[in-house]
Chains A and B, each alone.
Chain A
Amino acid sequence: MSFQPTSFQPATFRIDGETIDATPRPGQCLRTFLREQGRFGVKKGCDSGDCGACTVHLDGRPVHACLLPAHRAEGREVTTIEGLSCCGRLHPVQQRFLDAQAFQCGFCTPGMVMTAAALDPAQRARPDRLLKGNLCRCTGYRAIREAVQGEIPAAGSRDVQAPGGRGVVDGTARFTMDVAVERLSHIKVLQSPHASARIRRIDVAAAMAVPGVLAVLTHRDAPAACFSTARHENPLDDVDDTRVLDPVIRFAGQRVAAVVAETEAAAERARDLIAVDYEILPAVFDPEAAMAPGAPVIHDKPAAVSRIADPARNVAAEVHGGVGDVAAGFAEADAIHEGVYESQRVSHAQLETHGAVGWIRNGRLVIRTSSQTPFLTRDALARLYDLPPERVRVVCGRVGGGFGGKQEMLVEDLVALAVLRTGRPAKLELTRAEQFTMTTTRHPMKVRVKVGAKADGALTAIEMRIVADTGAYGNHAPGVLFHAAGEAVALYRCPNKKIDGWAVYTNQVPSGAFRGYGLSQTGFAVESAMDELARRLGMDPFAFRRRNVVVPGDPMVSLDAGPHDVEFGSYGLDQCLDRVERALAEDHRIGGAPAGRRPPVARAAGERPGPAPSGAAPVGEASAGATPPAVGGPGEGVSGERPAVGGAGEGAAGDWLVGRGMAVGMIDTIPPRGHVAHSRIALDGEHYLLTVGTAEFGAGTSTVHVQIAAQALGVSPDRIRLQQSDTDLGAHDTGAFGSTGTVVAGQATLRAAQALADALRRAAAERLGAAVEECVLGAGGVTDGRRTVRLSTLAGVSAEGRADGTPRSVAFNVQGFVVAVHRRYGTLKILRSVHAADAGFVVNPRQCRGQIEGGVAQAIGAALWEEVRLDGEGRVETPAFRGYRLPAMGDLPVTEVHFARTHDRLGPLGAKSMSESPFNPVAAALASAIRDATGLRMTATPFLADRIHAAMRARAAEPDFTQPDFRTEETDRERHPAGS
C-alpha cells in the first residue's frame, strides 16, 4: 500500500534540458521536488533561504530552490549543478572551483557554483556582496573568492587535488542523503517544549490513525540501557546517561517520540497529533546554581554505573590537579592579573545536518550516516540493540562537515530502532532548526584565571577554575573538561599551577565535542590573562611569550607532572612567534587605515619592539597568504560606509581606534588514551587500492592518505584509488576526531604502503633472483636496474598498517590581528589577520592552508557574532541561520598563513596535526587587539558591536553618545607614538 498525495496537478517541467512530467504537491518547494527527481546535487543546508546550498537557476537566474514553490517552475527552464556541465565538460566556473580547490567538505559547492555561474565578468571580479547568500563553513572563503575571480595561485608540487574533487564541483558527489532507497520510510521526531519534565502519559492513537503511519516510537519501545552519544575508542571514557527515548525530559528540544511513516508529510502530521501529558519539574539553567545544594538533580543515576562524577551535585565530570604551591607563587609575584572569561554556546553549523538512512540487507542492519566515527557507531549500535557487531554495517557517504559534532551518535540510534521495529528502510534527516535544538553545541565555559609573574616577566603561578556547562547530557563532558585543563596551561613554563574544573549538568541543549575540544574556551581565558599580565609588566606580548612558553626539554605540565606520552617531536613555536610579530610590525601595509590617515598603531616607546631587522632571514616556508585585506575590508556592519570618508565636519579620523593583538595555542597532536587506525593497500592491476577506516568530512585527509601512499610506493597520486569509512571494508578505526586523520590514520597508511613496497620488492627479487636491496619499486614495476617485474604480474599482493596513536607530539599556532573599532557604532573591522602554524612537514600546503583559514574563519564567527541564545526557559531562540550569524564571504578577512619549517620525528613523513588548533588562539588575539585599540578588555565572547559599544559607554565619563570621547590616557599616548 502506498500513501498518495491528496491533490494532483500534472505538469511539465524542464529540468537540466530534460522534459519531465511530474506532480509536485501543492505547497512543495522546488528543492524537495528536484531531489525526488534524482537531482541530488541540490543540497539542503537550512531550508529557509539563508545558506544558498540549494541554489539553482530559474531561467538563468539564481534562486533558492527551498523557497520556490515547485509549481512556479512549471514551464520555466530549471538548471541544477548537474545540468551546468555539458557533454562531459565542466562549466568554466566548475573548472575554476576544481583548480582552486575551492571546497573542503563540498556541501556548499553546488550552490556556490550556481550563484557564481550567473555572474557576469564584472560581477565576478567583486563577488563578496553578490555571494553573501552562499554560506561555507569550512574554507573561510579565500579559495572560493579566487575561484570566482579566476585568479588562482599556481599549485605547488605537493598541492595534489582532492580525490573526488570533480564530483564535488559537478554535483555528482554523493553525500549521506544522496541516495534513492526503495520503500523508504521517514522519521519525524516530537521534541519536548519543556526543559524539565516527566512524561506521565503519551497517547499515540490519533497519530497512528494518520494514513501512512507505520509506527510511533516512545520510551516504551526504546532499550532500557543508558549510553553516551559521545564516541571514543574506550566507551568507559564517557558517561552513560542517555536513552534512545527517555520518559524524563532534561532539555527543551529533547526527543519525546518518533513517528515512522510513508512520507515526511504524514510523519509530520502524525507527530503533531501525539498527545503528551507532562509533569513539569523544576529546572536549572546556571551551572553554578546547579552545583549548589538544593538544586534539582538532573540525572538521578548511580555514579558507579553511569560514571557520572557526582550525580547529586549535577557534576558530570571534574578535574583537580596542579604542581607546586600557587599561594607561594603569587606571594612572590610582582604583578598579578585575575579575570573571569566566558565563552558562549556556539553551533558547529556544518552545512549538512545530522542524518542517517538505515535498512536491513541479508539479515544485517545497514546504517548510512553522516559520522566522523563509523566504526565506533557500529560498535555502539551493536551494544545498544544487542546485535553481534558483524551484523551491523555503518557506512558514510561524503560527509558535509563535522567539526566534532559528528563524533556523536545523535540520529543513528533512532534510525536503527525504526528499521528494527518496522523492517522498512527509514530515514531521519534533521532540519536546521532540529540541528540547533536537538544536537550539540560547544561547551559554554566560565573560566577564572589568576596569573602572576616577576618583574622580569617570569611566571610564578597559574591558577585556573573552569566551570563548563555540559547541558542536559554529559556527552564529551569528561573529555572536553580534561582537554580544557590541558595544553592552554601546559604551554607555559611555571613552577606553580593549580587547576580545578567541573562539567555541570543544566536543563539546556547538550554541549559536545567542538573543534578545539575545550581549548578554545580556556585558551581565550589564559591568553587574554597573559596579555593583561604582560601589559601590567610593561612587556611586549611576544617578548612575554618567549620568556615563558615551554621549549624542548621543559616538562609539559597542567593537571600533573606526568609521565605522559607527549613529547616535542618537533618545535616551531619560536618560528611562529617571529613570523607573526614581524607581520604585525609591517604597519605600512595598513597605511591609510580606517581613519584615512596613518593609524595610531605603535605603542609607547619601549613597549613594542620595532620592525624586525631588515637582514633577518625569512622564517618558514614562503607565505601562503595573499595580500592583506584592503582597507575598508570586511567586518564592518554599516552598509555603504567607506571608512576613509568622513562626513561633512564629522572628524572621521577620530571614528576608528586601531589596535593589535596576538595569542598562542598549543595542542597535542593526538587525543590521549588510545586512538587506533588500520589501513590496507593492495595492488590492483596498474593501480593500488587503499582502504582506510577514517572518515573524510572536509579536512582533506583523503588527499593526504593518497599522497602518503603514492610517495611510499613511488607512483603518482592518480595511481592510488581510495575507499573509506565503511565498517565492511578494512579493520577497526577509531575515527576522524582529535585531528588524527593525518597523524594516526596517515601513519597507518604509511606503514601499510611501506610494507606493501617491501613485499613487492621481495616478490620481485625472488622472481629475478636478485637481492631485495637491489630492487627498486617505481611506477612501472620493480627493477633491479637491468630487468623489471611489471606490477600487473604481481597482482594480489597486499599489506596492512596499524597505528595506535602513541607517542604524541605537539603542534603550535600563533594568531595576530590588527583591528579597528568604531567609536560611534562599536563595530569592529579586521584590518589584518596573520596566522603562523607549526604543522611539522606539510604534506599538502594548499589544503593545510585551507584548514587553517577555515579554522580561523570559524573562530572569528564564534568570537565576534555567533551565539546560540536560550530564553529564560532553556529554549533555543536562534534556531535558524537568520538569527544565528554565520560569517559570509564579505565578513571575513583573508588570513595570511605561514608555516614553520619543522619535521616531526613522530608523525608520518614528519607531519603534525593541523585541523582543530587554528581555531583556538583567535578569540584571545581579537580581544587583545580590541584592548589595544580601546583600552577595554572584553571578557566574554561574542564581541558584538552593542557589547563593545556598551563597554565604551560604561567607561566614558560623559555618557552622552553625541560627544564621544573614549580616548583613554593609554590611547592618547598611542596617538602620539614616540619616535614617529
Chain B
Amino acid sequence: MSYERPADLARALALRAEGGRVVLAGGTDLLAATRARELRGPVLDVTGVAEMQGVTLSAEGLRLGGAASWTAVARAPLPPACAGLQAAARVVGSTQIQNRGTVAGNLVNASPAADSVPPLLTLDAEVELVSLRGTRRLALGAFLLGPRRTALAADELLVAVHVPAAALAGQGAFEKLGARAHLVISIGMAAARLVVAGGRVVSAALAVGACSPVAQRLGAVEAALVGRPLAELGEALDPAAAAAALSPIDDVRADAGYRRAVAPELLRRALLACAPAPETAL
C-alpha cells in the first residue's frame, strides 16, 4: 500500500522506521513543489494521528499538535504572549492554505522565510521529536540547522511544538513586510514578546526572520532593553546592533541592503506593538 494514513502514533512511527515514505501533513509545500502535480512514491500521511492533534493549554504550557493547522492556531483562545504567533497564523498564505497547512510542517520545511519561526523563537518553543527509539526535545533554535535543514532524524516525526508556561508571560507581536498587502512570502519579519512591570521592561524576546539563513533571536539587543522605561522603548532599540546580528541575502524578493535597513524598523514596530501604549492614541 502506497498511501498510509495511520490513526495512532505507534503505527505512524513503525511506518516511518521502515523508511522510504514521504511524510505528508498539510501538503501545502510538498504538493506545491512537485512538478508532476502528484506525489510519487509511498506517502505517510500524519494528519490522522491522534497524538498529533489539537492546540492545548495546560499547566506546563502550550502544546501545538504536529497536525494542527494554522487556522486551529489562529482561532484558539491563547494568552497575549501568543499574539505574534496568532498574527503569523493569520497572514501566512491564503485562507485555503491556513485551513490545510500546519505549524509543524512549516518548521520541518525549514524555509528561512517561514512565518511561524520568529514568533515561536520569542516563545522559547521546543519541538518534540519521536521515533521508535524514543522521544527527545530540542529548542527550536537547535532544531533549525539552515535553509531546508533540520535536526529531524530519518525515523523521527515532529509530534508537537511546546511553549513552556514561563514563556507565556507578557505580550507578543509580529510584523511582516512583503511586497504587497497579502499573500506574499516575507521580505522580512520580526516578532517580539515583552514582559513589563512598573513601567519598565522585565524581559524582552526579539527574533527576526528572512534576514539570515535561519531566523534568529537577538540576545544582545534584548539584554539592552531590560530595565528600560517603556517610554524610551523606541529609542532603546539599537538599530545598528540589530542589523549587525543579521546576514541577509539578495534574492528575488529583495536585496540584502534593503533587508538590513528595514529589519530594525520591523523590530522596533513589533516591540512597540507589545508595549501597553495609551500615549500612542491620537
Instruction: Answer yes or no: do A and B interact.
Output: yes
B1 contacts the other chain (CB 8 A): yes
Q: Verify if A62 is at the interface (C-beta below 8 Å from B).
A: yes
B179 contacts across to A, CB distance below 8 A? 637, 865, 885, 944-945
| Dominant secondary structure of chain A at its interface with chain B | loop
On whether A67 and B28 interact (CB within 8 A), knowing A49-B96, A640-B87, A647-B234, the answer reads yes
Q: Are B24 and A890 in contact (CB under 8 A)?
A: no
Residue A61 at the B interface, CB < 8 A? yes
Closest CB-CB distance, B278 to chain A, in whole Å?
10
Contact partner, A69, options B33, B42, B43, B239, Cβ 8 Å: B43
Task: For residue A253, give the distance in angstroms from its CB to the closest CB of chain B.
Answer: 13
Give residues 226-254 of B contacting A (CB, 8 Å).
231, 233-235, 239-240, 252, 254
Chain B residues within an 8 Å CB radius of A825: 177, 262, 265
Complex Cα distance, B176 from A596, in Å, reads 22
Q: How many residues from A make CB contacts under 8 Å with B?
A: 79
The segment from A27-35, A326-334, A767-775 found at the interface with B is: A27-35
Q: Does A2 contact B (CB under 8 A)?
A: no
Within 8 A of B (CB), among A516-560: none
Number of contact residues on B: which range applies? 35 or more
> Are the C-beta atoms of B180 and A26 separated by less than 8 Å?
no
Partner of B37, one of A47, A634, A639, A865: A47
Which A residues, 629 to 644, have Cβ-Cβ distances below 8 Å to chain B? 634-641, 644
- Write out the residue numbers on chain A whose beta carbons fall within 8 Å of the beta carbon of B97: 49, 64, 67, 133
Cβ–Cβ contact B32 & A26, under 8 A: no
B40, closest chain A residue (CB): A27
Q: CB-CB contacts of B255-282 with A at 8 A, as 1s and 0s?
A: 1011001101100110011010101101
Can you list 11 A-B contacts with CB-CB less than 8 angstroms, sorted by A residue number? A50-B32, A52-B96, A61-B99, A62-B95, A133-B183, A265-B38, A644-B282, A825-B262, A882-B32, A885-B184, A949-B261
Query: Which residues on B sit within 8 Å (CB–CB) of A747?
Result: none
Does A130 lie at the interface of the complex (its beta carbon under 8 Å from any beta carbon of B)? yes
A641 surroundings in chain B (CB, below 8 A): 175, 269
Interface pair A66/B37, CB less than 8 Å apart = yes
Q: Counting CB contacts under 8 A, is A181 at the interface?
A: no
Nearest CB in chain A: distance from B46 CB, A: 11
CA distance A644 to B281 in the complex (A): 10
Q: Kindly list chain A residues whose C-beta atoms are within 8 Å of the C-beta of B177.
A: 637-639, 825, 827, 945
A64 cross-chain contacts in B, Cβ below 8 A: 28, 96-97, 100
Across-interface contacts of A431 in B (CB, < 8 A)? 35, 37
| Cα–Cα distance between A62 and B93 once the two chains are bound (Å) | 13
A contact residues around B265 at 8 Å (CB): 824-825, 961
Kindly state whether residue A877 has any CB partner on chain B within 8 Å. Answer: yes
Contact of A29 among B38, B231, B279 (CB under 8 A): B38
Question: B58 at the A/B interface (Cβ < 8 Å)?
Answer: no
CA A338 – CA B254 in complex, angstroms? 29
Q: What chain A residues lie within 8 Å of B59 (beta carbons)?
A: none
Nearest Cβ on chain B to A522's Cβ, whole angstroms: 26
Known contacts A49-B93, A133-B93, A268-B36, A639 near B174 by CB under 8 Å: yes
**Interchain nearest-CB distance for A481 vs B (Å):** 29
Distance A224 CA – B35 CA, assembled complex (angstroms): 31
Q: Which residues of A contact B42 (CB under 8 A)?
A: 26
CB distance from B72 to the nearest CB of A (A): 12
Q: Is the CB of A945 within 8 A of B87?
A: no
A649 pairs with B239, CB closer than 8 A: no
Beta-carbon contacts under 8 Å, A20-68 to B:
25-29, 31-32, 47-50, 52, 55, 61-64, 66-68
Q: Scoring A residues 387 to 415 as 1 if CB is less than 8 Å from chain B, else 0, what string do you get?
A: 00000000000000000000000000000
Task: Please encode chain A, from 637 to 669, with 1 for each CB lying within 8 Å of some chain B CB and 0 for all others.
Answer: 111110011111110000000000000000000
Question: CB distance B258 to A949 under 8 Å?
Answer: yes
> Does B200 reach chain A (CB closer than 8 Å)?
no
In the complex, which residue of chain A has the Cβ closest to the Cβ of B178?
A637
Chain A residues, CB < 8 A from B96: 49, 52, 55, 62-64, 67, 115, 133
Query: Which of B5, B35, B90, B239 has the most C-beta atoms of chain A within 10 angstroms of its own C-beta?
Result: B35
A68 to B43, CA, bound (A): 13
Q: Chain B contacts of A645 at CB under 8 A?
A: 280, 282
In Å, the complex CA distance between A578 and B184 comes to 38
Counting CB contacts under 8 A, is A14 at the interface?
no
Q: In chain B, what residue has the closest Cβ to A28?
A: B38
Q: Which residues of B contact A (CB under 8 A)?
A: 1-3, 5, 24, 26-28, 31-43, 45, 47, 87, 90-91, 93-97, 99-100, 174-185, 187, 231, 233-235, 239-240, 252, 254-255, 257-258, 261-262, 264-265, 268-269, 272-273, 275, 277, 279-280, 282
A946 close to B254 (CB less than 8 A): yes
Contact across chains for A26 and B39 when beta carbons are under 8 A apart: yes
Cβ contact of B279, chosen from A72, A634, A648, cutoff 8 A: A648
Inter-chain contacts of A268 with B (CB < 8 A): 35-36
Which residues of chain A from 335 to 380 have any CB-CB distance to chain B below 8 Å in the complex? none
A648 adjacent to B272 (CB under 8 Å): yes
Q: With contacts A825-B265, A883-B252, A962-B264 known, is A67 near B27, CB below 8 A?
A: yes
> In this complex, what residue of A is CB-closest to B90?
A129
By a CB distance below 8 angstroms, the chain B residues around A131 are 95
A953 at the interface (CB under 8 A from B): yes
Binding site for B on A (CB under 8 A): 7, 9, 25-29, 31-32, 47-50, 52, 55, 61-64, 66-69, 71-72, 115, 128-134, 264-265, 268, 431, 433, 596, 634-641, 644-650, 824-827, 865, 869, 877-878, 880, 882-883, 885, 887-891, 944-946, 949-950, 953, 961-962
Q: Which residue of A lies closest to B231 (CB)?
A: A648
Is there contact, CB below 8 Å, between A953 and B257?
yes
Q: Taking CB as reference atom, which chain B residue is nearest A640?
A: B87
A264, B233: Cα distance in complex, Å: 59
- Which residues of chain A have C-beta atoms less than 8 A from B183's C-beta? 50, 132-133, 888
- Tell me whether B32 and A950 are in contact (CB under 8 A): no
CA distance A950 to B94 in the complex (A): 30
Q: How far is the CA of A634 from the CA of B178 in the complex (A)?
A: 13
Report the Cα distance A338→B43, complex, angstroms. 61
A115-B95, A883-B252 as given contacts; A650 in contact with B234, CB under 8 Å: yes
16 more A-B contacts (CB under 8 A) besides A7-B2, A29-B37, A29-B38? A26-B3, A47-B32, A49-B28, A66-B37, A68-B27, A132-B182, A268-B36, A639-B178, A648-B277, A649-B231, A650-B234, A825-B177, A865-B179, A880-B32, A888-B183, A961-B261
Bound form: Cα–Cα A945–B235 in Å: 25
Q: Do residues A637 and B38 form an inter-chain contact, with CB atoms below 8 A?
A: no
The residue in chain A whose Cβ has the minimal distance to the Cβ of B31 is A67
CB atoms of B100 and A26 under 8 A apart: no
Question: Quick one: given A69-B27, A635-B180, A825-B177, are A130 and B95 in contact (CB under 8 Å)?
Answer: yes
Measured in the bound complex, the distance between the Cα atoms of B71 and A133 in whole Å is 14
In the bound assembly, the distance between CA atoms of A23 and B268 in angstroms comes to 54
The 7 closest A-B pairs by CB, nearest first: A133-B94, A27-B39, A946-B258, A26-B2, A48-B32, A132-B182, A946-B254
Q: A58 — nearest CB in chain B belongs to which residue? A: B99
Q: A648 contacts B275, CB within 8 Å? A: yes
The reply to whether A946 and B255 form a contact with Cβ atoms under 8 Å apart is yes
Closest chain-B Cβ to A797's Cβ sits at a distance in Å of: 51
Q: Is the Cβ of B185 less than 8 Å from the Cβ of A647?
A: no
The answer to whether residues A27 and B43 also contact, given A639-B175, A888-B180, A946-B187 and a CB cut-off of 8 A, is yes
A130 to B94, CA, bound (A): 7
CB of B3 within 8 A of CB of A27, answer: yes
- Residues on A with beta carbons closer than 8 Å to the beta carbon of B100: 63-64, 67-68
Q: How far is the CB of A133 from chain B (nearest CB, A)?
A: 2
Q: How far is the CA of A128 from the CA of B280 in the complex (A)?
A: 27
Known contacts: A634-B181, A641-B269, A945-B179. The answer to whether A961 contacts B264 by CB under 8 A is yes
A111: nearest chain-B partner, CB-CB: B96
- Is B176 a contact of A638 with CB atoms below 8 Å? yes
Please report the C-alpha to C-alpha distance between residue A71 and residue B183 in the assembled complex, in whole angstroms: 27
Chain B hits for A63, CB < 8 A: 96, 99-100
Tell which of A9, A31, A131, A647 has the most Cβ of chain B within 10 Å: A647
CA gap between A825 and B34 in the complex, in Å: 34
Across-interface contacts of A950 in B (CB, < 8 A): 255, 257-258
